[in-house]
Amino acid sequence: MIQKYHVEGYEQFCEFMKKFTSTDEDIHIYFTGSKLPSGISWCSDCVKAKPIVEEALKHANPNSHFIVVDVGSREIWKDRNCPFRTDPKTRLLVIPTLMRWGHPQKLEGEQCEKSELVEMLFTDED
């Protein structure tokens, strides 16, 4: 069964990822805008991509991990010094971003709305 997690903000993300330093299991991370009080992300592209990512996740290796990371408010994300943008391990340019941790596979922005690409990222072998 795919293990699912949710973390909020950069500090929590860094702390959370320490437990995955020596695993050989697939780790997929979905970076998205934080939720408004309504429960919906402030990022309209993230809202569009979410159901596509969730549907494609059904095809992922059952022994994998899926982590949803809220990058923060619109103001935090738009700051060019946002740590998700500057950290060499994430180097986010846009949200949503879906990546396989520790590997080059990454989908950004509208790519996350294309079910065939998202499914390929979840099922692709190195």
Q: Could you list the residue range(s) of the whole structural domain that residue 7 is in?
A: 3-123
Model pTM?
0.93
Burial class, 122, CB count within 10 angstroms (exposed 0-12 / middle 13-18 / buried 19+): buried
**Reduced to 3 DSSP states, what percent helix, strand and coil does the chain have, rounded to the nearest 5?**
40, 20, 40
Residue 68 is part of a domain; what is its CATH number? 3.40.30.10
On whether the CB atoms of residues 66 and 99 are closer than 8 A, the answer is no
The yes-or-no verdict on residue 114 having pLDDT over 60 is yes
- Residue ranges in the chain assigned as alpha helix (H): 10-17, 44-56, 74-78, 83-86, 115-123
Tens digit of each residue's pLDDT (9 = 90 or more) over 1-40: 899 999 999 999 999 998 876 567 889 999 999 999 999 9
Separation CA 75–CA 11 (nearest Å): 17
Q: Retrieve residue 7's tokens.
A: 């973390």
Give catalytic residue positions. Answer: 43, 46
* Number of domains present in the structure of the chain: 1
According to the model, what pLDDT value does residue 124 have? 79
Burial class, 69, CB count within 10 angstroms (exposed 0-12 / middle 13-18 / buried 19+): buried
